[in-house]
Amino acid sequence: MADIFGPGGVLSKRHPGYEFRRSQLEMAELIDNAFLKHQHALIEAGTGTGKTLAYLIPAIQSGRRVVISTATKSLQEQLFNKDVPFLQKYFAPDLKVALMKGRNNFLCRQKVHLMEGQPVLKGMDEIDWFSQIRDWEKLTETGDRAELTFLPDDSELWNRIDARSDTCTSQKCPEFANCFITGMHQRAQEADLIIVNHHLFFADLAIRQDDFGSILPEYAAVIFDEAHEIEDVASDYFGRAVSSYKLDELARDAEQTLRLLQVSAPTVRRSVTQLRERAHGFFDAFPAREGRYPFEPSERAGFLEQNREAYDSLAMGLKRIEIELAALTAKPDEVINIARRAADVRRELAFLLESDEHNYVYWFERRGKGVFLAATPIDVSEILREKLFDQFDTVVLTSATLAVAGHFDFLKQRLGLQAVTERVLPHEFDFREQALLYLPEALPDVRHASFPTHAAEEIARLLEITEGRAFCLFTSYVQMRDAFERVRSKVGFPLLLQGTAPRSVLLERFKTTPNAVLFATASFWQGVDVPGEQLSCVIIDRLPFAVPSDPIVAARVRALKEDGRDAFAEYQVPEAVLALKQGFGRLIRSRSDRGILAILDTRIQRMRYGKIFLESLPDYTTTQDLAVVARFMEKS
């Protein structure tokens, strides 16, 4: 590794942006050693380490088939389109790499061919988009929606032509040999490295658990980038869920399948129309207020007592579609799939409404136009230990935010990780010079009624000093909107508000609008990269403790307390520490970046647990004086 990453090494001669990073070399050596000794490794590597090459090169050197799992599709594409070609050019010309995404990212050729010439498109936009997609289908090698820059994110057309497994007939499909999914799987079977995202990885792990086959081919080792997210993703995929969208999709797919295959089944069509009505009636019975709420046995018993007729009607509607589709004399495989899906949804609903397995927390959520019912494992550590860490002899977890107060006890306990090599690598940035942490002492407690007024005034003063160019990050939508309204009358900078446009659009506007200020919540705390002076300030209103009333948080806190443990110290504080590190991590993205970090929550100075937050952050220069903030910005 020293011959590759060290001064005068291979990278220095071949990488145009090379600069020696001691942490990068140490990380590569740790991972190389984990592969050689068949061990797990846990590595916190800050921004600027160069961690992608630090794990890709040892993975290639290992000679094993390695899965690289990232947090987002955009990071997958960066690895595949930028880092892999570099490695193939200079290190491993015969290296075979496959990029795998979820099936709904790919076009279904059979659906496109069936839709041609049929009156199923809605409006001139869909006609135009379909025409472009039909031409693209003949030229594209991947069928990946990411290539369709003209198609809006919320296009309903894509939902009718994607390659979801729900509507797939697999080898019985006339397009199977030419299918984009088939091609993706073939490339993965031949690959040395397979690049996936966490959602696809855990979807595969959950399927393997139930012996339903697999999505990924066999592999020998896994590297998780942005590994701080895997508990939440694993919880989703080892849980159970049904949503109003799932029922809408089932009804839409049933109608489209019958229409495209020209199956004459007027009785089934009427039953599908009834199913849609019954589903709307059932989901309308849930409270209209947005948010996530517990749905434990007592809540479910009360709900069923009041809405038994709507629930039974929906279950009977699903059963009727199963029976009527089964009774058709001509049953193409697509029709059999619809019947199977109706049965699956009926069973899931029964589990979510009537079961009482103690290792799950049951909840419902109204979000936008959708209602979601779910059962989430309270603790995934045993599942991950059994299905992941005991099955593979090398699992590497890395991220810029894994340690709390310099150690990994919290993460290891949450993930069920025992024997592991662990290291917090030194930072590559000079945080004392590049960043100033501002902790105002005059603000009231965040729980006091006067806090929003004083916080808005403090935000306005900071924005004047930094000339906008800031992220204002909040722990709730209510607090975000309230602060936005209070601040907008106090400053003249362009203010952007999360929710007023898609996330990608808002981020692009922020990058291209001089002196812009973005007010945002959790989704902007991580995975957002704005290098340079356009982002010169990150303001956080409160320590990001998870909402204690959230059903999943409450269940995990309760489980720890029942086990005689301190849930606040062992779970709630460490979770908040990692979230704060993610939020502050937006600011310093390169060695030339400078800026202000501000947290308006005085508990970080007053409460004993505040010390854990400060010990977990880089060694920033700290001040309580706005005049010092102003002088720091004058030097920028």
136, 148 contact by CB (below 8 A): yes
pLDDT tens-digit series, residues 458-467 = 999 999 999 9
pLDDT bin (cut points 50, 70, 90) of residue 119 is confident
Q: Does pLDDT of 23 surpass 60?
A: yes
Question: Where do the domains of the chain lie?
Answer: 2-96+191-237+380-424, 103-173, 240-377, 431-635
pLDDT tens-digit series, residues 223-276 = 999 999 999 999 999 999 999 999 999 999 999 888 888 888 889 999 999 999
Domain 2-96+191-237+380-424 is of which CATH architecture?
Answer: 3-Layer(aba) Sandwich (3.40)
| Cα angle value 405/518/461 (rounded, 5°) | 80
The alpha carbon torsion through 81, 84, 89, 93 (nearest 10 deg) reads -130
pLDDT of residue 328: 86
The alpha carbon torsion through 154, 158, 160, 162 (nearest 10 deg) reads -130
pLDDT of residue 213: 64
List alpha helices for 101-215, DSSP H. Answer: 109-115, 123-137, 156-161, 180-190, 198-209
User: For 240-377, CATH number?
Assistant: 1.20.120
541, 483 contact by CB (below 8 A): yes
Question: What is the chain's mean pLDDT, rounded?
Answer: 92
Domains 2-96+191-237+380-424 and 431-635 alike in fold = yes
pLDDT bin (cut points 50, 70, 90) of residue 547 is confident
CATH 3.30.1360.200 fits 431-635, yes or no: no
Retrieve residue 246's tokens.
């799932």
Q: What are phi and psi of 134, to 5 degrees?
A: -60, -40
130, 115 contact by CB (below 8 A): yes
Q: Which helix (H) or strand (E) holds 422?
A: strand 421-424
Write the DSSP assignment of 574-602 as a string of letters. Answer: HHHHHHHHHHHTTT--STT--EEEEE--T
